[in-house]
Structure 1
Amino acid sequence: MIQPLRKWQSDCLKQAKVHFSNHSDFFVQATPASGKTRLAAEIARWLLDEGYIDFVICFAPTREVVAGIQRTFAAVLNQRFGDTLASVGAAYTYQSMEYQSPDFWTLFTAYRTLTIFDEIHHCAGHDPLLSNTWGQQIIQRIQNAATYTLALSGTPWRSDKLPIALARYTDPEGQLICDYRYDLQTAIQDGVCRSPRITLIDNPQIQLVEENENTASVRAFSSFKQLLGESPISYEDLLRHDDILNAVLDVGIDRLSEVRKTVPNAGGLVVATDIEHAHQIAELLKAKSESYRVVTSQTPRAHQLIDQYRHNSTRWIVAVSMISEGTDIQRLCVCTYLSRIRTELHYRQVLGRILRKIGAADNEAWLYVIAEPLLRKYSQRIADDLPEDQATLQTKKLNERLEKARLDHANGYSESDTAANDSYSPIEDTDASEPTSVELPLLTLSFSQYYRQYLLTLI
């Protein structure tokens, strides 16, 4: 059943109708998870019903997003939509542009088309010298041939600072001009998106033992920021460290268990760095008796597995570049960000995967991340997107499990003696404890028995 349009979608549709009476290109910035695909389908339906276009052609960054577009458009248009006979339109990946036949490109000149570009920020292009491959295709084959274009983006900027294809900018400031804008603050206030709570996990006691041939030097660090800035340890070293992974996963598991008391099929996403890393994380989840699914570029039938996860009750899905922008799995509400990618674009797009609401009472999303300086800065910028009185910074100890491990260590018990009685409820105390040595290649790191976490609460 097709749900009624949200207010912002209705307002944007009205504005598009006015805009297309005098212009051929319409640019929409709407926060991730707000419903851009549904909006695009409604604009397409209006243009088809009015007889302004013959076909709708969509481009998107991934096959998963293409599949979502096909489902939504077929439902809204109540017509076939895809690569089938007698379709009113079709959706393709940006990658496919390079392999289309000459006959495909004649569609834009032989027929009246609405061409939709989902997450248009992937396409850099104002001229051939400042364009990527996809942007060049748009400039050369579509920009002046399509009857209408609709560009959509939740994060309309590029890490390389190049201009976005089909976008307009102010002169000389270079600010993006949007024909319609719908930001995160408004989406939360409207009840369209969940309110994000971002937890940055740090460690106030770190010892690094660097071994030479006959000696070993010990250095102390009070945070991951100091460790990364003043030692040979890299951020990726932290991401592959079992103790750190366990710490981040544990708070995510605690939160997901709490959410599932009221939303039984709520799910969690782990964003991994690469395939090896994904399977390392999977082994840790298995040891914690957590149900999970791993999807990577090498996973057979990955897209079918993602669709199965969308509808079942498996707790976690561990993914490498498979569940990113535009992927709609509404039951995802907890995410542990363990990717080595540290761009604001990617970070915000991952956050968007857990902002989609299921019902009126589904108001919160939880993101857990190591307190790396860039990620801390991006988290603060997300807080800045909301009124200051809606963001608070709190400090608390990770959980009772780690405090219990410290006491057991002091009393001479081993971890295996106490594992069956581990507790996971949060506590407020933040006292320090003796560190335990953990080996990394060529280096030995010593971490305290428990971590400090900073909770950036966005209400």
Structure 2
Amino acid sequence: MLRSWQKECVELAVKKYAVSDKHFLCQATPGAGKTIMAASLAKTLFDKKMIDRVICFSPSVEVANNIKRTFGKIIGCSFDGSFTAIGASMTYQSLCSIPQSTWDGLSKYRTFFIFDEIHHCSFSQDKSKINTWGERVVFHLQDIATYTLALSGTPWRSDALPIALVNYSDPEGELICDYQYSLSQAIRDNVCREPKIVLVDSNSISDGHETYGSIAEFVKQTHSTYQEVLNNDSALRYLLKLAVLKLSEIRASNSAAGGLVVASSVKHAEMINSLLIEEFNQTSTIVTYLHDNSTQKINTFKSSTEQWIVSVGMISEGTDIPRLQVCCHLSSIKTELYFRQVLGRILRSGKGKIEFAWLFTFAETSLVEFAERINIDIPDSCSYVEMECETILVREDIFRPVTSAKINRDNKSKESLDKLVLGGLTSERGIAYDELLSGCSLSSIQIKSLRTRVIEAFL
């Protein structure tokens, strides 16, 4: 049975297609159930005899396989791309190897193309800026498509380029969606969990010469990098301990609840996995592109009761593991797009009851900004305008003593309730992998007097 928003979206898309407008964009928060909606729309179009074929593209093999299973089940027929199948699910990467004869063959059918996470496909009037996936979508698929459905939970790009098949208002450059289902709506409908973001900071960070009063101050005023914070033994153990305690608390009433750690490199992931097992007595699985059978391990973890899964980029957008409820964002990728995609891995509920999703990360300046505006589905900074980007000044007083004011629904207050007081410790290939070169030797900086701040955006 479809959720209310899925039914509304399907009905609206069919109406739009019926009046000869063949493009439809749905922006729905991560975890809302976009794949089920898309499969239901495809079935409706088949039932109405409006299409002959459906082809789905997505950013990873894991997501493509999930789409294949979901569409096959809902449509009720083969969806393996074979000669007798009515549909296929493949990755955007495969676009590069599809011969022209295939496009010519598809043009003879009424084909419904679905683009999951369409933000992976950029487009620009300047052809030197358009990426290969976007070029294929724009110059090959949109002309032969009978209808298209573009899906995204985070419809913008870190490189600020416009997205293929997407319309923007003129001159504001704001994204124009045919249907939008926000995180606040999903939380209200108990479709998604309410996010709580725990920012770990320090009153005392020393590089051996100077002492700084926050992570933001340290990174800004020294030649050190955020990676040194991620590799710091004291800080890492403190954050992991918070996350382990939170997961244990949740598992007291839900024994299947799991946690995800997004690491910054393979070595970083291996170190974290060892800490979880040896220091915190947790069960944990590591999945990276260098480890064997990672896809199989992800599928096994989905239906197990194992506590943690540690990853570098393999569990990001589109990967569906509903039992994940706690996440440690320990990646060196600091873009709003990636931050929201990681958070999206723990938002999916599906139980129809109030639940919370806990994200733990360090109080690096950009990550603090992203956390503070998480209740804005499409930030103003995501508007696309053909001009040079202005420099955005960041508040430097962001970590003055925290008051007890909460972030309210209309975002008028930018303070949060510091309610997790545990005392101080004194001891876009889609995903960028250049941080793997950084290794993970333990940082020589000293981080003491750690503190936490919890941001609650939907109250």
When normalised by structure 1's length, the TM-score is 0.86
Give the length in aligned residue pairs: 412
SS in 1 for 2:309: strand
Opposite residue 366 of structure 1, the aligned amino acid is W
Q: 1:368 aligns with which of 348, 360, 377?
A: 360
Aligned 8 A contact 1:56 1:115 in 2: yes
SS in 2 for 1:205: strand
RMSD of aligned Cα (Å): 2.0
Structure 1 position 292, deviation (Å) = 0.5
Q: 2:25 aligns with which of 24, 27, 40?
A: 27
SS in 1 for 2:297: helix
Q: 1:228 aligns with which of 196, 214, 219?
A: 219
Whole-angstrom CA distance in 1 between matches of 2:227 and 2:36: 38
Aligned 8 A contact 1:251 1:398 in 2: no
Structure 1 position 232, deviation (Å) = 2.2
Whole-angstrom CA distance in 1 between matches of 2:442 and 2:355: 46
- Equivalent residue, structure 2, for 1:298: 290
Aligned 8 A contact 2:243 2:327 in 1: yes
Opposite residue 18 of structure 1, the aligned amino acid is K
SS in 2 for 1:382: coil
Distance 1:86 1:367, change over 3 A: same
Distance 1:441 1:73, change over 3 A: closer
Aligned 8 A contact 1:208 1:443 in 2: no
- Equivalent residue, structure 2, for 1:428: none
Whole-angstrom CA distance in 1 between matches of 2:444 and 2:64: 46
2:205 is the alignment partner of 1:203: no
Structure 1 position 360, deviation (Å) = 2.6
What is the correspondence of 1:34-433 to structure 2 with a 5 Å cutoff?
34-127=32-125, 128-209=127-208, 218-287=209-278, 288-384=280-376, 386-388=409-411, 393-395=416-418, 399=422
Whole-angstrom CA distance in 2 between matches of 1:219 and 1:105: 62
Structure 1 position 102, deviation (Å) = 2.9
Structure 1 position 246, deviation (Å) = 0.7
SS in 1 for 2:246: helix
Q: Quick check: 82-91 or 345-354, which moved more?
A: 82-91
SS in 1 for 2:374: helix
Aligned 8 A contact 2:191 2:352 in 1: no
When normalised by structure 2's length, the TM-score is 0.86
Aligned 8 A contact 1:398 1:451 in 2: no
Whole-angstrom CA distance in 1 between matches of 2:111 and 2:323: 35
Structure 1: give runs of 5+ residues left out of the alignment: 210-217, 407-414, 416-439
Distance 1:285 1:145, change over 3 A: same
Structure 1 position 274, deviation (Å) = 1.3
Whole-angstrom CA distance in 1 between matches of 2:191 and 2:414: 19
Whole-angstrom CA distance in 1 between matches of 2:28 and 2:44: 20
Q: Quick check: 144-153 or 377-386, which moved more?
A: 377-386
Opposite residue 294 of structure 2, the aligned amino acid is A
Opposite residue 173 of structure 1, the aligned amino acid is E
Larger radius of gyration: 1
* TM-superposition CA deviations, 1:211-234 (whole Å, max 9, x none): xxxxxxx31111101111111221
Distance 1:397 1:273, change over 3 A: same
Whole-angstrom CA distance in 1 between matches of 2:26 and 2:375: 22
- Equivalent residue, structure 1, for 2:392: none
Distance 1:247 1:99, change over 3 A: same
SS in 2 for 1:394: coil
